[in-house]
């Protein structure tokens, strides 16, 4: 799944916006019997495998962000994002957090690097998902070929094969570790919500009121900083160093508050 900001950072951004909470909707009874799991055991929640209280990912103006289901009616869900309750539909605007299930594959949802088969000229050809754009996917095929296809022309073969991510590798030429160069606790200076980044020995730990703490590698060159999770360059967080020493993040300015 791709976005302008990765889910963990997009959820932080929502805390910085002032929004009036929308009224919640009462939960409607499930219209269909939930699908059975392997062995005949009933699946959790509704036909899509969701239940009130579940944490999911929803599409927002800032990219995909964490949300909590507060009510459901078929494929339409009321979810709480930060302090606001909004409506989102599965599967266009609401996705499962974590690995996709057989139900997700049925409605055309696939993850980066999933092993799939794609229908080309009425033949099913093995490939790998390399790019996602909404509910369309670019699939790498043998012979250095690639095609774009929707979920209806794709079928799941197996999950991506994961390898250990290399640590300590600069994101770009000229970048060096932040260790000894950027240290201390930086935080937002006011407004709605808060975000804190603690820089220590080449690492940056991000904390916010919504979501778990995240520790990333910190790299710097000139007036630029890049926070990176090893193995996930698509989730890089770029930061500019301002003339006054404050840091300009994609989510707003933060200033040094302590060592």
Span 194-245, pLDDT tens digits: 789 999 999 999 986 555 688 999 999 999 999 998 877 877 899 999 999 9
Token readout for 72 is 């459901």
C-alpha distance from residue 5 to each of 33, 66, 110, 169, 253 (Å): 36, 13, 19, 22, 16
> Is CATH 2.40.128 correct for 176-258?
yes
- Topology agreement, domain 1-99 and domain 101-158: yes
Its CATH class, for the domain covering 1-99, is: mainly beta
Q: Where are the domains of the chain?
A: 1-99, 101-158, 176-258
Mean pLDDT, all residues of the chain: 82
- Mean of pLDDT values over 68-78: 97
Give residue-wise pLDDT tens across range 121-169. 999 999 999 998 888 999 999 988 999 999 889 999 998 766 667 889 9
Are the C-beta atoms of 226 and 175 separated by less than 8 Å?
A: yes
Q: Is the pTM of this model over 0.95?
A: no
pLDDT of residue 210: 55
Please provide the distance, in angstroms rounded to a whole number, between the alpha carbons at the two ends of the chain: 36
Assigned CATH topology for domain 101-158 = SH3 type barrels. (2.30.30)
Are the C-beta atoms of 23 and 219 separated by less than 8 Å?
A: no
Chain position carrying tokens 């964490």: 66
User: Cis peptide before 168, with omega less than 30 degrees from 0?
Assistant: no
pLDDT of residue 230: 86
Separation CA 217–CA 176 (nearest Å): 11
- Mean of pLDDT values over 83-108: 94
């Amino acid at each position: 799944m791709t976005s302008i900001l990765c889910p963990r950072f997009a959820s932080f951004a929502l805390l910085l916006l002032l929004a009036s909470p929308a009224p919640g909707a009462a939960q409607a009874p499930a219209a269909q019997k939930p699908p059975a799991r392997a062995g005949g055991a009933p699946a959790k929640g509704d036909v899509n495998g969701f239940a009130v209280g579940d944490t999911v990912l929803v599409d927002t103006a800032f990219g995909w962000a964490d949300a909590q289901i507060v009510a459901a009616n078929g494929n339409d869900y009321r979810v709480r994002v930060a302090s606001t309750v909004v409506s989102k539909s599965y599967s266009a605007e609401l996705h499962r957090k974590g690995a996709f299930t057989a139900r997700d594959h049925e409605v055309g949802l696939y993850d980066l690097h999933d092993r799939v088969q794609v229908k080309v000229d009425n033949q099913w050809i093995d490939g790998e998902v390399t790019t996602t754009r909404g509910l369309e996917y670019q699939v790498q095929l043998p012979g250095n070929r690639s095609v774009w296809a929707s979920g209806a022309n794709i079928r799941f073969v197996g999950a991506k094969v994961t390898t250990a991510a290399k640590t300590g590798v600069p994101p770009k030429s000229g970048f060096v570790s932040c260790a000894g160069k950027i240290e201390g606790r930086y935080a937002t200076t006011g407004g709605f919500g808060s975000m804190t980044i603690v820089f220590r020995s080449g690492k940056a730990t991000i904390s916010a009121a919504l979501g778990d703490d995240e520790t990333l590698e910190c790299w710097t060159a000139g007036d630029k900083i890049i926070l990176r999770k090893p193995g996930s360059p698509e989730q890089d967080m770029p930061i500019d160093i301002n003339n006054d020493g404050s840091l300009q993040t994609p989510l707003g300015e933060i200033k040094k508050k302590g060592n």
